[in-house]
């Protein structure tokens, strides 16, 4: 059995540099725990002139990263470039074809090409490891592959984006607008200069697809899933939700309903006293429901160089210990696509806020429209603003079908007494199967 492993790291941003430092500083510890010798042989990034946060020798630098993937002496390639296609895909594919183990933190790549890449890894009898692609330092993928492997999982729920969770938490505590908090988050480094994927839910969408495949031992879905972000959440909604005993959280949820898979990403009103309602700041959290384990919960920092590198090192240990396993638990040929649950048939309660002209008959027109679309009212709050003759109407509905809500929201646009599009947020429905 091989005792010396040469490693090539491609991508030397904050995470890549932190990982290399960790690899160097923990070298003796890793070797002691695995019985294998490791060597950081090559590194590569866009520019060799840029100062890095770790020391390396000139002979370790490789200008063309694809050369690392083809070098016969390299055993493990760590891809930290990012992106679903382009160079990242070329690096991973070339590494696997050339029988190199691959470690990546690239959730977009795995979500889009994980089915294909895992089959290539299997053919070439090498590992494709991606613990760091979901929930940062939380070892959720390792737990699904090993600790929870005997369980039949029926649902996974998670706060999977630290940026969105930080913004929602900060809005509640500071009572500042979304726009103002976002600016502060960017200045402090909690949000990227272009945070679009964090805010519109697409980042969480990638992660929930990966978790779904592991939980249900299926192929990664190619379907576009129900995805809503937090861009339209206003401070008014957060404060109203708080008065009602709720917090707003951006959640990724996947479950099996009537033998079909239902994946979704959207803001949700959750009880303040609930576990998920108390996950604040940049922290992530995941709830797994399965048999016989019941409910299993995990929380931790979901992003950043430290937590991500912790997961990368975990994947390294797995490879060094000879744990050659299928990327998604079972052989590729045995994984199948699961039929998709029609989101129109999803049943839930919802929060709706209407900004309206304060005049007779407006509330009546809204409630009649709700009734027409088979949506009944559980609670109603009306707050007039006498200064500008407007009012806020907040309605919490009883459970109804998604299709009813969508039809109602489309039809209500015709009401000229409603000043702007209503705010619509789904309410905690976790305990329903």
Supply the residues annotated as catalytic. Answer: 207
Query: Look-up: residue for tokens 């339209």?
Result: 232
Phi and psi at 302, nearest 5°, equal -95, -5
Q: What are phi and psi of 79, to 5 degrees?
A: -95, 115
Do the Cβ atoms of 108 and 82 come closer than 8 Å? yes
154 and 287 Cβ atoms separated by less than 8 Å? no
Residues 259-292, buried b or exposed e (16+ Cβ, 10 A)? eebbbbbbbbbbbeeeebbebbebbbbbbbbbee
Please give the Cα distance from 247 to 173 (Å, whole number): 12
DSSP 3-state percent helix, strand, coil across the chain (nearest 5): 40, 25, 35
């Amino acid at each position: 059995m091989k005792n010396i492993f040469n490693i090539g790291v491609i991508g030397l941003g904050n995470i890549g540099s932190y990982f290399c430092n960790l690899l160097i500083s923990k070298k003796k510890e890793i070797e002691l725990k695995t019985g294998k010798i490791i060597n950081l042989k090559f590194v590569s990034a866009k520019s060799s002139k840029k100062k890095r946060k770790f020391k390396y020798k000139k002979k370790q630098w490789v200008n063309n990263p694809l050369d690392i993937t083809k070098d016969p002496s390299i055993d493990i390639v760590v891809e930290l470039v990012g992106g679903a296609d382009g160079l990242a895909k070329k690096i991973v594919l070339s590494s696997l074809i050339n029988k190199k183990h691959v470690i990546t933190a690239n959730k977009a790549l795995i979500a889009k090409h994980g089915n294909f890449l895992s089959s290539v890894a299997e053919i070439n009898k090498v590992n494709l490891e991606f613990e760091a692609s979901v929930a940062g330092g939380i070892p959720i993928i390792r737990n699904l592959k090993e600790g929870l492997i005997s369980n039949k999982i029926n649902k996974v729920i998670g706060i999977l984006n630290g940026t969105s969770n930080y913004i929602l938490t900060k809005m509640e505590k500071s009572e500042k607008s979304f726009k103002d908090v976002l600016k502060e988050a960017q200045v402090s480094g909690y949000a990227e200069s272009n945070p679009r994927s964090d805010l519109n839910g697409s980042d969480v969408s990638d992660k929930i697809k990966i978790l779904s495949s592991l939980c249900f031992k299926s192929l990664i879905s190619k379907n576009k899933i129900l995805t809503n972000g937090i861009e339209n959440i206003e401070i008014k909604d957060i404060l109203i939700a708080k008065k009602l005993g709720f917090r707003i959280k951006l959640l990724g949820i996947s479950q099996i309903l009537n033998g079909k898979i239902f994946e979704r990403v959207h803001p949700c009103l959750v009880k303040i006293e609930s576990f998920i309602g108390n996950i604040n700041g940049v922290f992530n959290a995941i709830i797994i429901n399965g048999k016989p384990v019941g409910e299993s919960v995990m929380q931790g920092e979901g992003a950043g160089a430290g937590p991500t590198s912790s997961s990368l090192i975990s994947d390294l240990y797995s490879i060094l210990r000879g744990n050659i396993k299928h990327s998604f638990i079972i052989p590729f040929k045995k994984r199948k696509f699961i039929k998709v649950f029609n989101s129109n048939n999803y049943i839930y309660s919802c929060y709706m806020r209407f900004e309206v002209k304060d005049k007779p008959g407006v509330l009546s027109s809204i409630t009649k429209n709700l009734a027409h679309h088979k949506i009944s009212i559980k609670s109603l709050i009306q707050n007039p603003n006498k200064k500008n003759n407007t009012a806020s109407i907040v309605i919490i509905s009883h459970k109804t079908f998604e299709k009813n809500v969508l039809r109602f929201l489309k039809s209500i646009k015709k009401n000229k007494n409603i000043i702007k599009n209503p705010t619509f947020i789904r309410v905690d429905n976790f305990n329903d199967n």
